[in-house]
């Protein structure tokens, strides 16, 4: 029996079991074909054995007719198996889904890949491939998580940089306004200094007899005359 891979499924409490046997070299050929096509294998079931993963999801007392076989389900167990030559295209409720009969086996295989706990049914020749596939998934998940973290950090830095850039622009505008006011104040100071210098040099800041007499003469003129020129 070392040349064969054997899987079995108990048929309820009948004391019977469904046994599926395949040669290891034949199974190895299939595995190699998948690997040559760059496809990873994480699990293998022979025949309808994979359907036991769906037992809790089937409705009670379901007669499951698939291509070439008929399985009866009672009290959450397979209780009988028969070969059938007719093709059935029925639909079965599995959980909350309605699945066509020709999709039941692929659906069961898909469900089986969600859990990696039970490995007793897996042949030794697939254990290494399975381990490599799981490691590859973990590595890909780690890379995705790392890239997501880097993206989050870059996004936070961009938001922070944008806020700092806005603050810089605001302070730059305020600084330029202050410089303009300072230049204007210096111009006004120079203008005031020039006028003060002219006022001092012209003697307008001291008492003048000329201005006194001019004022007195103007006060003596008739109101109809105006004194507008000092000769």
Q: Are 112 and 45 in contact (CB under 8 A)?
A: yes
What count of Cα atoms within 13 Å lies in the side-chain half-sphere of residue 195? Answer: 6
Instruction: Report domain extents, the chain.
Output: 4-122
Q: Are 50 and 20 in contact (CB under 8 A)?
A: no
Going residue by residue through the chain, which has 231 residues, state the pLDDT in tens, using 9 for 90 and above.
Answer: 677 878 777 787 777 887 878 888 888 888 788 878 877 676 777 777 777 777 777 777 777 777 777 778 777 777 777 777 666 667 777 777 777 777 777 777 776 666 544 545 555 655 565 666 667 778 888 899 999 999 999 999 999 999 899 989 889 999 999 999 999 999 899 888 888 887 677 665 666 666 667 677 777 777 676 656 555
Query: Phi/psi of residue 104, each to 5°?
Result: -65, -45
């Amino acid at each position: 029996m070392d040349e064969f891979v054997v899987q079995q499924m108990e048929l309820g409490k009948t004391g019977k079991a469904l046994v599926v046997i395949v040669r290891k070299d034949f199974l190895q050929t299939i595995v190699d074909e998948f690997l040559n096509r760059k496809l990873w294998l994480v699990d293998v079931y022979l025949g309808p054995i994979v359907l036991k993963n769906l037992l809790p999801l089937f409705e009670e007392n379901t007669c499951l007719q698939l291509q070439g076989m008929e399985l009866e389900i009672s009290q959450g167990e397979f209780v009988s198996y028969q070969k059938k030559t007719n093709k059935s295209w029925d639909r079965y409720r599995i959980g909350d889904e309605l699945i066509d009969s020709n999709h039941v086996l692929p659906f069961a295989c898909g469900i089986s890949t969600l859990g990696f706990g039970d490995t007793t049914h897996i042949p030794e020749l697939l254990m290494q491939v399975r381990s490599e596939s799981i490691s590859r998934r973990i590595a890909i998940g780690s890379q995705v998580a790392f890239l997501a973290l880097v993206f989050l950090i870059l996004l936070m830095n961009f938001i922070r940089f944008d806020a700092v850039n806005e603050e810089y622009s605001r302070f730059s505008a305020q600084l330029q306004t202050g410089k303009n006011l300072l230049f204007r104040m210096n111009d006004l100071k120079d203008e005031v200094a020039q006028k003060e210098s002219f006022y001092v040099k012209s003697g307008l800041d001291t008492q003048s007899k000329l201005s006194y007499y001019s004022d007195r003469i103007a006060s003596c003129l008739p109101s109809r005359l105006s004194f507008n020129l000092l000769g």
